Structure 1
Amino acid sequence: MPAIGIAAQPFGLTRVSPSMQQFDVIVVGGGAAGIGAARSLSDAGKDVLLVEADTRLGGRARTEHVEGMALDLGAGWLHSAEHNPWVEIAALHGFALDRTLPRWREQWREAGFSQLEQRDAGKAYDAFESRLRNDPPPGDRAGAALVPNSAWSVWIDTISGFVNGVDTAKLSIADYLAYEDAATETDWRVPAGYGALVAAQASGLRTALATPVTAIDRSGARLMLQTPRGTLEAEQAIVTVSTDVLARGDIALSGHDEVLHAAAALPLGLADKLFLAVDQGADELEANAHLLGDPRSAITASYTLRPFGSPVIEAMFGGEGAREMAARGLHGAADFAIEELCGLLGGKWRRRLRLLAGSAWSRETHIRGGYSHALPGRAGARQVLATPVDARIRFAGEACSANEFSTVHGAYKAGVAAARALLR
């Protein structure tokens, strides 16, 4: 049996002998959930290996350093900071937090979206959410609560794309409300990068990178995990890969049909980011200000101007807009964003902006999308996914959270909970 590289730190691998391929627990997936699970188990004295298909840790929390700036291509906000464990973890690792609250509900200088229009749109959204709570349509489909021919229905779907990664027609009402009832509006950021913080929490853990698990054989007394680099053996396992990876059958796992069907009922929506450098006139833009590109189109972006005061504009595409930009490619998406910004700020900005970096999560074959949403009528799939079929195998991740899904802290808490369940 070939040896698999094991790293004591999350970056780089060292070789070990085949005799070291047996562990107490193997954690599959090196995102926030996997790191939370592996850290909890390691701290409890278990012999743990964290196995990740990619060449890096962090999953959908990914920080890239470009031109001296830390850019979060995935998760960027510590949502619900009052009960977000990453606040304490940041202090533990010496990461500063920026407590400047987001300004998503503001349109800088009313560009392309007047104060009156913003007020009308906000009233339409409040009425939509009130119908979801107090007079929900049959079938648990959020989109059925939209007012036909309303001037703001497209805008509501666009906002759902940013928040849920999908439009309201594909969204469970029960699932949406579960998140809304648990969330707060205290959202903070990490100037050094949320992805960097997540990876730092894995410091000291044994990891095997570039090692996708393709099958888990549970027919024997110990679990056998197949990878292209050899076979790993463990008493127990925690699987934290995305629901799309599970539903596609990328990991062969017999006897778990109900779990895999639950994963299919919790597909990943799509949200992608784009970062544009501001080469001239950055001081003309207010730091941390917000712009929505076009409130009347689903193919648009949400822009944060100069986050942390840096000479950058961060664009986020969600739902239908994110799918369109993925089809256009990174440079096509940058061209779109620059044109949209010029429409709001003036044509002089065309020569001042250039592409720095961007994400395309649907093309990340070991993830395949953004964050999970429950299909109409399938909110209960989260509990099914989190309930073990085999006492030796647990599933964890943001999709397993009952009310903090789609967040890094929800994923982390689910990983910790799965680890504690195995320890019991």
Structure 2
Amino acid sequence: MTRTRPGGTLNRRHFLAAASAALLPTPALAQAGASDVDVVIIGGGAAGIAAARRVAEAKRSYVLLEAGPRLGGRARTESAFGLKVDLGAGGFAGGDGTLGASALAAGQPLVPLPSGRRLFAEGREVRESAYDAFTATLGAARRDMLAAIEGGKDVAAAQALASAPPPAKGTPGSDGPWAATVAQFLGPLSCGRTLAALSALDLARRDARPDDTTSPFGVGALMEALGAWVNVQRDAPVTLITNGGRFHSVSVRGQRTPIRARAVVLAVPAPVLAAGAIRFNPVLPTRLVTALRAIPAGYLEQVAFRLAGNPLGLQPNETVLVKANAGAPALLRGRVHGGELHVLTFSDAAARAIAEKGAEAALPLAQAWLRANFPGAETAVSEVVASRWGQDPLIRGALSPALPGQGAQRRIFTDTVQNRIFLAGDYVPETGWGTLAGAWVSGEAAAGRALRLFGDGPA
């Protein structure tokens, strides 16, 4: 999903986002019922795959446990309309960390994404002066949030903007004609929640690079390819993790014998942990549970459809942001890989409806968005496919931004838990949270910390 950082810079015509099975190698080393390993990795998303690869490279024994039937987490490539459709992460920052390098080293092809986003209003691309005004408003919003958090204070992002002094006369600011669009851009369309429900501290600290790289076969397919050779058990939900001192015991539903491990990399989404889907004996520290509950998942859902003939006049893989209006806000990624596939990312209330009802809610929402912003295009859309991350018990929503007043809690996630548990996931980084590349880096970092328990040499 598209993610942005507050205060991204814009060019005059395009502003930067601040917001196939045949290619998969045959799985190797898969084993069922492993009983004693150096490291157990729990969760088969980007962070878990990265951790498993790091431990494997160190020649330590390990197993990756994935509760579902496939790897990738919120990076998932589906087949629809005879095409490969990413209903989740559609790209990542190729130069941010090691995900891009790992893909290339594994022989996986990558293609660049356009570095710009196009700004539309009333069905037409805006003038250059409007790009300038949007840029100024976005920059003012970032400055207002930074001013509001001086000294480590934390308030709602909306409050930080509302309490800022008015801009000088003649200077575009947070109260101009683009203020509502900027609020949607920074809040719902980036984090899945309104600015009133977001920590100004957490949002201002975020420094996520724009997604500029993707896979021609789908990012979900890329994740599965990168995890194809690791030692993985699918359909292996962990039910209990018990601290046994020198070892942790990991119980898996359907397996009589627990797995004993000297270290655990816990690469499970924060909302899943906060909901108590995995039990711990002894229980997790109170401060960690509090921190997990302070970053509830936002709501972002994607709706894919075919639109023939390029009626919107887009270049391949362009993303469109429209000026705020009475309709549900959404980001459009058009002409995916140069074809007829288009993907709308809805947020907050609209995303909740899609998560609950699927295509029944997604189709009228997509048609209404097209009708409001590109009249006539809606008549060509009669079928959609949609993600339902908010209803997936193994995911439970989108990225996890902090609530107002809770932005400082994120630093807790790099602490070692019960001496041998290391957290990984897109919620862990303090500045790069909410990104696929950030999740990958966090998995490698957690694995590195786990490996230090054993010294520098291989087993």
Query: Where do 1:284-295 residues align within 5 Å?
Result: 285-287=313-315, 288-292=317-321, 295=324
Cα distance in 1 for residues equivalent to 2:380 and 2:160: 42
- Contact 1:113–1:295, Cα closer than 8 Å, also in 2: no
Identify the match of residue 250 of structure 1 among 237, 262, 277.
Answer: 277
Matched AA of 2:182: I
Identify the match of residue 77 of structure 2 among 40, 63, 76.
Answer: 63
Cα deviation per residue 1:90-131 (whole Å; 9 max; x = unaligned)? 212333322232443422x86167436665444333222121
Identify the match of residue 422 of structure 2 among 388, 394, 407.
Answer: 394
Matched AA of 2:218: G
Identify the match of residue 373 of structure 1 among 386, 401, 412.
Answer: 401
Cα distance in 2 for residues equivalent to 1:359 and 1:38: 27
Q: How many residue pairs were aligned?
A: 409
Q: Which residue of 2 aligns with 1:128?
A: 141
Q: Does structure 1 residue 222 correspond to structure 2 residue 247?
A: yes
Matched AA of 1:123: A
SS at match of 1:398: coil
CA offset at residue 339 of structure 1? 2.7
Identify the match of residue 157 of structure 2 among 142, 165, 171.
Answer: 142
Identify the match of residue 361 of structure 1 among 389, 392, 402.
Answer: 389
Matched AA of 1:201: L
Cα deviation per residue 1:357-384 (whole Å; 9 max; x = unaligned)? 2201111101101011122232232221
Q: Cα gap change, 1:388/1:354 in structure 2, threshold over 3 Å: closer, same or farther?
A: same
CA offset at residue 387 of structure 1? 0.2
Q: Which residue of 1 aligns with 2:181?
A: 155
SS at match of 1:82: coil
% identical aligned pairs: 27
Structure 2 unpaired stretches of 5+: 1-23, 164-173, 453-459
Structure 1 unpaired stretches of 5+: 1-7
Q: Which residue of 2 aligns with 1:101?
A: 114
Q: Which residue of 1 aligns with 2:47?
A: 33
Q: Cα gap change, 1:21/1:10 in structure 2, threshold over 3 Å: closer, same or farther?
A: farther
Cα distance in 2 for residues equivalent to 1:384 and 1:217: 21
Q: Which residue of 2 aligns with 1:4?
A: none
Cα distance in 2 for residues equivalent to 1:408 and 1:125: 24
Q: Cα gap change, 1:381/1:57 in structure 2, threshold over 3 Å: closer, same or farther?
A: same
SS at match of 1:89: helix
Q: Cα gap change, 1:136/1:418 in structure 2, threshold over 3 Å: closer, same or farther?
A: closer
Cα distance in 2 for residues equivalent to 1:186 and 1:366: 25
Matched AA of 2:227: A
TM-score (norm 2): 0.81
Q: Does structure 1 residue 233 correspond to structure 2 residue 233?
A: no
Q: Cα gap change, 1:345/1:250 in structure 2, threshold over 3 Å: closer, same or farther?
A: same
TM-score (norm 1): 0.87
Q: Which residue of 1 aligns with 2:57?
A: 43
Q: Which residue of 1 aligns with 2:236?
A: 211
Cα distance in 1 for residues equivalent to 2:73 and 2:360: 24
Q: Which residue of 2 aligns with 1:92?
A: 105
Q: Cα gap change, 1:100/1:385 in structure 2, threshold over 3 Å: closer, same or farther?
A: closer
Cα distance in 1 for residues equivalent to 2:27 and 2:324: 42
Identify the match of residue 194 of structure 1 among 210, 214, 219.
Answer: 219
CA offset at residue 273 of structure 1? 0.8
Q: Cα gap change, 1:187/1:298 in structure 2, threshold over 3 Å: closer, same or farther?
A: farther
SS at match of 2:407: coil
Cα distance in 2 for residues equivalent to 1:105 and 1:175: 27
SS at match of 1:276: strand
Matched AA of 1:178: R
- Contact 1:247–1:260, Cα closer than 8 Å, also in 2: yes
- Contact 2:297–2:400, Cα closer than 8 Å, also in 1: yes
Q: Which residue of 2 aligns with 1:5?
A: none
Cα distance in 2 for residues equivalent to 1:216 and 1:41: 20
CA offset at residue 391 of structure 1? 1.7
- Contact 1:33–1:415, Cα closer than 8 Å, also in 2: yes
Bigger drift between 414-423 and 92-101 goes to: 92-101
> Where is the helix percentage greater, Structure 1 or Structure 2?
1
Cα deviation per residue 1:187-236 (whole Å; 9 max; x = unaligned)? 22222111111221112211111111111011354221122112222222
Cα distance in 1 for residues equivalent to 2:26 and 2:371: 41
SS at match of 1:146: helix
Cα deviation per residue 1:153-191 (whole Å; 9 max; x = unaligned)? 5433321211122211122222212223xx344622222
Matched AA of 2:368: E
Cα distance in 1 for residues equivalent to 2:158 and 2:234: 41
Q: Which residue of 2 aligns with 1:164?
A: 191
Q: Which residue of 2 aligns with 1:312?
A: 341
Q: Which residue of 1 aligns with 2:304?
A: 275
